[in-house]
Chains A and B, each alone.
Chain A
Amino acid sequence: MALSPPMAKYPYKILPTSPSGQVYKPLIPVILSLKKTHKITTGIYALIDSGADVCFCTMDIGLWLGINFKNKKSIYFTAANNKEFETKKEIIKLHVGGKIYDCPFYFSKELPPTSPVILGQIGFFDRFKISFDLQNREFEVS
């Protein structure tokens, strides 16, 4: 997947909701990689989420990258419904918006299946200026 230029506008994605509605999501293509194992994912659509304190990723992708989660301590986060969920932290390479950098990700089996990669404040918003413009169905990453 070609990396996006450093400053770029992206269209919102319209996704289905049950029974026949739709929802707009700010999804951006990313690549995740782990230097230790030389594993690099295909491009994945990640959710830009200003309400997330950190970046999250589903455990399946972490295992595919070859991360050894044994002996890693559990770190717990609280969802908006006040339910705690378990994560394990690993620093991986994030390829996004024309940059490649080390980014702390919190891997969990308990993320919603529809949001396997979530880009939050630490690791993403602290690297880019993000402007959401749903009225015009676009967002900008610079």
Chain B
Amino acid sequence: MTPIDLTKKLKKYKSGWVALDKNHHIVAHAKTFSDIEKKVQGKKESVTLLPASDNYFGFITANG
């Protein structure tokens, strides 16, 4: 399966949230979760939200 490469699309967004349409194009950006929800409400096309960053590396798992 071809992976979805978002590296170029996310390049100009260093923080906040982005909304991606079904073709993985960024259709909205906002600083907070609350703001991005406001922006995408009422959009006819379904979108999926992703936190914006220029560096997604270095995640550490947590345990109880």
Contacts and interface: CB of A to CB of B under 8 A. Distances in A.
5 contacts: A15-B6, A15-B53, A17-B57, A43-B49, A45-B48
Interface in A104-118: 112-116, 118
Given A23-B56, A79-B62, A137-B2, A15 B32 contact: no
Main secondary structure on chain A at its contact with chain B? strand
Contact of A11 (B2, B50, B59, B60): B2
A60 B30 CA distance: 14
Nearest to B55: A18
A125 to B, nearest CB: 13
A116 B56 CA distance: 12
Interface residues of A, number: 50
Interface in B25-64: 32-34, 36-37, 40-41, 46-51, 53-64
Interface residues of B, number: 36
Given A11-B2, A16-B10, A137-B2, A60 B32 contact: yes
Contact of A45 (B34, B50, B59): B50
Nearest to A49: B61
Given A22-B5, A80-B60, 15 more contacts: A10-B1, A13-B3, A15-B56, A16-B7, A42-B19, A44-B49, A52-B63, A54-B64, A56-B62, A64-B37, A115-B59, A116-B33, A116-B51, A136-B1, A137-B3
A87 to B, nearest CB: 9
Given A17-B57, A60-B32, A1 B62 contact: no
Contact of A25 (B34, B48, B56): B56
A16 B11 contact: yes
Nearest to A108: B62
Given A14-B3, A80-B62, A45 B49 contact: yes
